[in-house]
A and B are shown apart, each in its own frame.
Chain A
Amino acid sequence: MGGPSGPGDSSVIAAFHHVLATQGAVIVAIVAVLFVGWNQLRSMQYRRAVARGEQFPAPSGNVALEPSARRFLRITFGLLWLLDGLLQLQPGMPGGLPTAVIKPAAATSPEWVRHLVDSGITVWANHPSVAAASTVWIQVGIGLMLLVAPRGQWSQGAGLISAGWGLVVWSFGSAFGGIFAPGLTLLFGAPGAVLFYVVAGVLVALSDSAWSGPRLGRWVLGATGGLLLGFAVLQAWPGRGFWQGSIGSGSGSLVAMVSQMSQISQPKALSSLVSSFASFDRSHGWGVNLFAVVAMASIGTVLLVSAGSSRPSLRARKMLRPTMVVLAVLCVADWVLIEDFGFWGGTGTDPNSMLPLLAVAVCGFLALTRPAPATQGDTPEMQGAAKGMAESAEEEVSEGSPVLAGVSASTDALGPAASGDRSWWESVDTRYAGRVAAALGALGILLVGVAPMAAAAVSRTADPRIAEAVDGPPNVVSGSAPGFRLVDVHGMPVTLADLRGYTVVLTFLDPVCTTDCPIIAQELRVTNDLLGPAASKVRFVAIVANPVYRSTQNVAAFDRQEGLDTQANWRFLTGSLADLQSVWNAYGVGVQTPPAGGMVAHADIVYVIDAHGTLRRILNADIGSSTASLRSSFSGLLASQVIEVQKG
């Protein structure tokens, strides 16, 4: 039993597609119900309006505009989450994400980071198809929710969910973006793309008053400037290998990173482009790093100065726009030439950090230069600053598209309150209702992902499909189980007939085996635990599969070794060589004794025999390259088969 063997494990991929299809069907049903409900409401309103001779749809009332900065941020990160969700559809994700993405990301991080990441890997490795499918729906759901809910609590909720899931991904999936690992550089993705998703989510979740005036823009641009300055210092720090294109016969830090990216499976033209940059950097490492340091430091300084006061100087304001343009150009250049788009190779999870970084910076720029009108709650200073910045901006606040017609920016009610002789549903704005239905649909998609992911995280066992993927599904049979007469660890005779009335889990173990048998014994022990009270009607029986070492002492030593000597329903049976060979033949367990220090070879099979002595299931128990996930998966699978057999 070898566990998901990597991105190309076809069985896991098939299970992944199956889960996706099942959950997709649930999502289609949710969307259909919401659409029918919304359409029904609209039809009812239309018929009533026609009957009353009124205009349909009713004209919208005053609509508060969404600040352009917030709208930009919300839509950009909505699209990014959607893209990330679609990237999770790649067939290599279920089997490959832990080994190809998460573990390497944490490899050079401190022990506590790796420990934390391992806990995430365990959940994923135990439930690869469910985890991968859930991640698809969670990220698609977050993306859609951000896109369809422009304002109000739905939108703020989407921001919070985005930030929360982003934190989960940032910590468990990307080892905190590598900020605790050596070799940290902004150019290659630090401090983690998804950290910008978290920032964006928090910003979207802020109240409307936070967006009024330029204060938020100053904070965002100031933080971005500080980040760039900090990373400029780090980039310039000597001894980290960034100033050299090559170090001895090896590569400088950045060259090594870029070269590694160029090796990833991708269109040849892109690979050549990235390789060319690597070659250029190898030859001009000092110059490239100087340029990067100067660029980061300069842009960071301008952003900090622009954000430094409530009334930045005209000069600073004039420098801001071209600085943003330069930042955009450099971010895109870094994204293409160094980060290599971030999503190639079959297990790319996102387009890396440069686009999200740029999006947050642009949001800050827009919030500073096109702030929303100050609300009543704002201080006079804020209102004044907002006015000043708005006036100084070259462009006026554009007419934003109306949002959530019928609902003010500060309320989340379904629409104008029912009044007079109208029913409540007549007063509901159908456009707003459509938005709510869409947001509910997005939330439904998200929950379709969250629920199984949560169940997987708390599950005691790994997905049984892992064991089935490796060993094949249990073989359902029906036939009389061959009888036997052997002795237990105390030398007392035991026959299969003695076990009538119990479901018998039967296997063959070598008591001095060094690998497979102890693992299978532990799988059976865990199966016994999983069965709980049902285990009292089960007998776990192992029969010695070693023609040389088959004494009751050997059996007793094995039981002690595996902690099975205290399990009341465990029997490890042995007997004369003739008796054992007879049972081996009857159950098709070929036993071979190799020369020269080799381990006795035998088939790893588990039989499930019902209480009437009928053989009901045959499971291949080959442990292959055993992993914890596969062992757990096999135990869960076996427990489920025992319960099925018990139910008849």
Chain B
Amino acid sequence: MSAPPVSSTSTPPPAAAESNAAGSTVVVAMGDLSDPSNTFYELFGRPAGSTSWRLATPPGVADNGGLVIGASQSGAVTAGFLPSDDLTFSVLAQRAASTAAWVPGDVPGTLAPEPDALAAGPSGQVAAVLSRPVSSVIGAGSGLADWSRLATAVELARASDRCAVTRITAVAVTISGVPVVGASCARSATIGLFVPAGRSDAAGGTVSSTLRRPTAGWSLVGPVFSGRVPDTTSVLRLQAGPGGVSALVSSVLNGVTTLTAMWGSGVSGTDAPTTSLPLRVPPGWSVLGTAMGGGDGSGQTVLLGSGAARRVEVIGGVATSSGERWTRLKTPPGGTTAVASVGGSTDAFVPSGSHLSIWSTAPGVTSWTKVDQQSVPIQFGSSR
């Protein structure tokens, strides 16, 4: 008798939200957060122009392992289920723009537990970051068909000796259809951002309708940190938009984590990117959630937490000049587990069992206002 498969439940990624011209999505952990088998990850969507969030969790799979979302500028959304318990592979669900129905899909492997493990391109392409069978990026054409491997972590590591890639952490597809890959690097001043050699995300280029393995390999295009070389750098978030690619990067030096936001076409290799001042994560605090696409469409929001304490830091988008500071918002409501940025406002999501309170504020506003309360039909005990 051979041994049964090993459980593959991994730590779910921090809560993630993203917004673009078509609308916004956010994934919120709900249920009994102290019990993984009763913690369910709920997807909420908010079409552009709408003032309310709606439950949009795709059906058919227990999502106790987490959900990752890739939203296209056209409004199509691809959701990926992270494995949990004895389920070791991932499956996808895809929803076209302006529809509520999900279509099931497959992905040949296990999605990495990263907020941007899925990315949707302008022509229906989808890129996915896998953690198994190997850390890699794969791509498919419209309809989640014809998956092919674009790169592995090992190949990216070979692409440049300036970044010792340990794993792939994020992927985005530019409006030109070019994949941009984020990675975690050890002892490197260079951020692990890669694009196919000879390509960039410069608008106006030839739009590729498929994602294929680049024939010329990959180029390391990430900017270089000044000062001391961090112990590790990692691309936490990666989002493509009309203004280029936005990235949120963490670096760890002597146990101290700092976050840096960067924008513009420079992120993917053409010019020097615009970068924020680093945001130091205080000792004992951690990143609970991130949101991309606020402000002018490329703003970033970070939710930090330590015990019951919460902080929300925001920074403007591509229009921001380099060296800009993060802005700390008014302390969010207790129990906030996720944030989303929609236009100039920031929403905080406070789950309590099967109930969700949504609060809103904006820079310069002195308080959070409760804007919605929802009840979610969570099936407690269904994953035992």
Closest Cβ neighbor of A593 among chain B residues: B59
Min C-beta distance of A381 to chain B, whole Å: 62
Residue of B nearest to A512 (CB): B61
Tell me whether B2 and A518 are in contact (CB under 8 A): no
The answer to whether A512 and B383 have CB atoms under 8 Å apart is no
* B2, A597: Cβ atoms closer than 8 Å: no
Interface of B, secondary structure class, is loop
The answer to the question of A266 belonging to the interface, with a C-beta cut-off of 8 Å to chain B, is no
| Residue of B with least CB distance to A546 | B60
Q: Chain A residues near B62: list those with CB within 8 A.
A: 512-515, 597-599
A9 contacts chain B at the CB level, 8 A cutoff: no
Q: Binary interface profile of A, 455-475, with partner B (CB < 8 Å = 1, else 0)? A: 000001000000000000000
Chain A stretch 85-131: residues in CB contact (< 8 A) with chain B: none
Q: Which residue of chain B has its CB nearest to the CB of A528?
A: B1
Q: Is A529 an interface residue (CB 8 A)?
A: yes
Q: Does B271 contact A (CB under 8 A)?
A: no
CB pair A596 B89 closer than 8 Å: no
**Which residues of B55-106 have CB atoms within 8 Å of chain A's CB atoms?**
55, 57, 59-65, 67, 81, 83-89, 91, 102, 104, 106
Q: How far is the CB of B35 from chain A (nearest CB, A)?
A: 14
The prevalent SS among residues of A at the interface is: loop
Q: How far is B1's CA from A404's CA once the two chains are assembled, in angstroms?
A: 53
Chain A, 592-607, contact with B by CB distance < 8 Å: what is the 0/1 string?
A: 0111111111000000
Q: Which of A220-228, A252-260, A550-558, A610-618 contacts B (4 or more CB under 8 A)?
A: A550-558
Say if the beta carbon of A563 comes within 8 Å of chain B. Answer: yes
Asked whether, in the complex, the Cβ of B106 is within 8 Å of the Cβ of A557, the reply is: yes
* Cβ of A562 under 8 Å from chain B: yes
Confirm or deny: B377 has a beta carbon within 8 angstroms of a beta carbon on chain A: yes
How far, in angstroms, from A526 to B88 measured CA to CA in the complex? 20
CB A404 to nearest CB in B, in angstroms, measures 52
Chain A residues, Cβ within 8 Å of B42: 596-597
| A contact residues, total (Cβ < 8 Å) | 33
Q: Are A593 and B383 in contact (CB under 8 A)?
A: no
Q: Which of A515-569 contact B (CB under 8 A)?
A: 515, 518-519, 522, 525-526, 529, 546-549, 551, 553-554, 557, 560-563
Are A551 and B1 in touch, CB under 8 angstroms?
no
Q: Known contacts being A514-B64, A529-B1, is A551 close to B106, with CB within 8 Å?
A: yes
Q: A557-B106, A597-B62 are in contact. Are A518 and B87 (CB under 8 A)?
A: yes
Task: Please give the distance in Å from A515's CB to the nearest CB on chain B.
Answer: 5
Q: Judging by beta carbons under 8 Å apart, are A512 and B378 in contact? A: no
Question: How long is the Cα–Cα vector from A557 to B83 in the complex, in angstroms?
Answer: 13
Q: Is there an interface contact between B59 and A594, defined as CB atoms closer than 8 Å?
A: yes
Task: Tell me whether B383 and A599 are in contact (CB under 8 A).
Answer: yes
A515 to B384, CA, bound (A): 7
User: In the complex the two chains form, is B5's CB within 8 Å of A596's CB?
Assistant: no
B284 within 8 Å of A by Cβ? no
Residues of B within 8 A of A522 (CB): 4
Contact assessment for B379 and A548 in the assembled complex, using a CB-CB cutoff below 8 Å: no
For chain B residues 84-138, which have a beta carbon within 8 Å of chain A?
Answer: 84-89, 91, 102, 104, 106
Alpha-carbon distance between A553 and B382 when the two chains are bound, in angstroms: 25
Closest partner residue, chain B, to A460 (CB atom): B1
**B349 at interface, CB cutoff 8 A:** no
Give me the interface of B with A, judged by CB distance under 8 Å: 1-2, 4-5, 30, 37, 40-42, 55, 57, 59-65, 67, 81, 83-89, 91, 102, 104, 106, 376-379, 382-384
Known A-B contacts: A549-B104, A597-B64. Give 16 more (CB < 8 A): A460-B1, A515-B383, A518-B87, A529-B1, A548-B60, A549-B91, A557-B89, A557-B91, A561-B5, A562-B4, A595-B55, A595-B379, A597-B40, A597-B378, A598-B378, A600-B60
**Cβ contacts A to B, 14 pairs, < 8 Å:** A512-B60, A514-B61, A514-B83, A515-B86, A519-B86, A548-B60, A551-B106, A553-B106, A561-B89, A563-B5, A596-B30, A597-B40, A597-B378, A600-B61
- Residues on A close to B: CB < 8 A? 460, 512-515, 518-519, 522, 525-526, 529, 546-549, 551, 553-554, 557, 560-563, 593-601, 625
